Amino acid sequence: MNQTTKSALRLSQRLDLLTALLERRSIRPLLDRFNTRELVEAHGFLWDKLVELHYLTQKREFVREEVTRKMVPSATYQHQQGCDLRLDYCKGVECIWSNPVCAANKIKNNMEVMAETIASYLQTPGSNGREPTRGRGKRLAAEDAILM
Protein backbone atom coordinates (compact mmCIF):
# COMPACT_ATOMS: atom_id res chain seq x y z
CA MET A 1 0.00 0.00 0.00
CA ASN A 2 1.36 3.41 -0.99
CA GLN A 3 1.25 5.78 1.95
CA THR A 4 1.61 9.49 1.32
CA THR A 5 2.58 11.97 4.00
CA LYS A 6 0.49 15.11 3.93
CA SER A 7 2.59 18.12 3.11
CA ALA A 8 2.60 20.89 5.70
CA LEU A 9 3.46 23.47 3.06
CA ARG A 10 0.59 24.35 0.76
CA LEU A 11 1.12 24.87 -2.96
CA SER A 12 0.16 28.54 -2.57
CA GLN A 13 2.92 28.98 0.03
CA ARG A 14 5.48 27.42 -2.30
CA LEU A 15 4.35 29.66 -5.14
CA ASP A 16 4.51 32.72 -2.86
CA LEU A 17 8.12 31.82 -1.99
CA LEU A 18 9.04 31.31 -5.63
CA THR A 19 7.34 34.54 -6.69
CA ALA A 20 9.21 36.49 -4.03
CA LEU A 21 12.48 34.98 -5.26
CA LEU A 22 11.75 35.81 -8.90
CA GLU A 23 10.70 39.36 -7.99
CA ARG A 24 13.81 39.76 -5.81
CA ARG A 25 11.67 40.53 -2.74
CA SER A 26 12.50 39.59 0.83
CA ILE A 27 11.11 36.20 1.82
CA ARG A 28 11.09 37.09 5.54
CA PRO A 29 7.49 38.41 5.61
CA LEU A 30 6.32 35.10 4.13
CA LEU A 31 8.40 33.04 6.52
CA ASP A 32 7.06 34.98 9.50
CA ARG A 33 3.58 33.63 8.70
CA PHE A 34 4.65 29.96 8.58
CA ASN A 35 4.06 27.63 11.49
CA THR A 36 6.86 25.35 12.69
CA ARG A 37 6.07 22.41 10.40
CA GLU A 38 5.65 24.68 7.39
CA LEU A 39 8.94 26.40 8.12
CA VAL A 40 10.85 23.12 8.35
CA GLU A 41 9.34 21.97 5.06
CA ALA A 42 9.93 25.35 3.40
CA HIS A 43 13.60 25.11 4.37
CA GLY A 44 13.96 21.79 2.54
CA PHE A 45 11.97 23.08 -0.42
CA LEU A 46 14.13 26.20 -0.75
CA TRP A 47 17.36 24.20 -0.42
CA ASP A 48 16.22 21.84 -3.18
CA LYS A 49 15.42 24.81 -5.46
CA LEU A 50 18.78 26.38 -4.67
CA VAL A 51 20.65 23.22 -5.72
CA GLU A 52 18.47 22.81 -8.82
CA LEU A 53 19.04 26.41 -9.89
CA HIS A 54 22.76 26.11 -9.27
CA TYR A 55 22.97 23.27 -11.78
CA LEU A 56 20.82 25.16 -14.28
CA THR A 57 22.81 28.38 -14.13
CA GLN A 58 26.35 27.61 -12.99
CA LYS A 59 29.14 25.86 -14.83
CA ARG A 60 30.94 24.66 -11.72
CA GLU A 61 30.03 21.80 -9.40
CA PHE A 62 27.75 22.62 -6.46
CA VAL A 63 29.66 22.99 -3.18
CA ARG A 64 27.40 23.07 -0.14
CA GLU A 65 29.93 25.02 1.92
CA GLU A 66 29.80 27.95 -0.52
CA VAL A 67 26.30 28.57 0.79
CA THR A 68 26.58 27.44 4.40
CA ARG A 69 29.71 29.50 5.11
CA LYS A 70 27.54 32.61 4.72
CA MET A 71 25.21 31.35 7.47
CA VAL A 72 25.81 32.03 11.15
CA PRO A 73 27.39 28.88 12.62
CA SER A 74 25.19 27.05 15.11
CA ALA A 75 27.67 27.54 17.97
CA THR A 76 27.80 31.30 17.35
CA TYR A 77 24.02 31.58 17.06
CA GLN A 78 23.55 29.51 20.22
CA HIS A 79 25.99 31.75 22.11
CA GLN A 80 24.23 34.91 20.81
CA GLN A 81 20.93 33.55 22.14
CA GLY A 82 22.41 32.74 25.54
CA CYS A 83 21.50 29.08 25.10
CA ASP A 84 23.32 26.52 27.23
CA LEU A 85 21.94 23.36 25.62
CA ARG A 86 24.25 20.93 23.87
CA LEU A 87 25.33 22.13 20.41
CA ASP A 88 23.77 19.13 18.69
CA TYR A 89 20.35 20.42 19.81
CA CYS A 90 20.89 23.56 17.74
CA LYS A 91 22.36 21.68 14.78
CA GLY A 92 19.68 19.01 14.72
CA VAL A 93 15.93 19.26 14.74
CA GLU A 94 15.46 18.89 18.51
CA CYS A 95 15.36 22.63 19.14
CA ILE A 96 12.64 23.33 16.59
CA TRP A 97 10.21 21.45 18.83
CA SER A 98 11.52 22.43 22.27
CA ASN A 99 12.34 26.08 21.53
CA PRO A 100 10.47 26.89 18.32
CA VAL A 101 10.89 30.69 18.41
CA CYS A 102 14.68 30.55 18.64
CA ALA A 103 15.04 27.71 16.14
CA ALA A 104 12.59 29.32 13.72
CA ASN A 105 14.62 32.52 13.74
CA LYS A 106 17.79 30.57 12.90
CA ILE A 107 16.02 28.72 10.09
CA LYS A 108 14.63 31.98 8.69
CA ASN A 109 18.08 33.57 8.77
CA ASN A 110 19.52 30.58 6.91
CA MET A 111 16.70 30.71 4.37
CA GLU A 112 17.47 34.37 3.71
CA VAL A 113 21.04 33.35 2.87
CA MET A 114 19.65 30.70 0.50
CA ALA A 115 17.40 33.32 -1.12
CA GLU A 116 20.40 35.66 -1.61
CA THR A 117 22.30 32.80 -3.23
CA ILE A 118 19.39 32.04 -5.55
CA ALA A 119 19.19 35.74 -6.45
CA SER A 120 22.87 35.68 -7.36
CA TYR A 121 22.21 32.71 -9.67
CA LEU A 122 19.45 34.67 -11.37
CA GLN A 123 21.41 37.93 -11.36
CA THR A 124 20.92 39.95 -14.49
CA PRO A 125 24.22 41.20 -15.90
CA GLY A 126 24.24 44.64 -17.43
CA SER A 127 23.40 48.12 -16.34
CA ASN A 128 20.11 49.64 -15.22
CA GLY A 129 18.60 46.21 -14.66
CA ARG A 130 18.63 45.64 -18.40
CA GLU A 131 19.66 42.27 -19.58
CA PRO A 132 22.04 41.78 -22.49
CA THR A 133 20.89 39.58 -25.34
CA ARG A 134 23.60 36.97 -24.77
CA GLY A 135 23.01 34.72 -21.74
CA ARG A 136 19.40 35.78 -21.45
CA GLY A 137 18.03 32.38 -22.49
CA LYS A 138 19.88 30.53 -19.74
CA ARG A 139 18.59 32.87 -17.03
CA LEU A 140 15.02 32.76 -18.35
CA ALA A 141 15.18 28.96 -18.54
CA ALA A 142 16.30 28.93 -14.90
CA GLU A 143 13.44 31.21 -13.91
CA ASP A 144 11.01 28.95 -15.74
CA ALA A 145 12.51 25.92 -13.99
CA ILE A 146 12.03 27.48 -10.56
CA LEU A 147 8.28 27.14 -11.08
CA MET A 148 8.48 23.45 -11.94
Domain boundaries, the chain: 11-123+134-146
Q: What Cα–Cα distance (Å) separates residue 142 from each residue in 53, 57, 107?
A: 6, 7, 25
Q: How far apart are CA 75 and CA 105, in angstroms?
A: 15
Give this prediction's pTM.
Answer: 0.80
pLDDT tens, per residue, the chain with 148 residues: 455 567 889 999 999 999 999 999 999 999 999 998 999 999 999 999 999 999 999 999 999 999 999 999 989 999 999 988 888 877 766 788 888 899 999 999 999 999 999 999 998 553 233 344 445 555 566 666 665 5
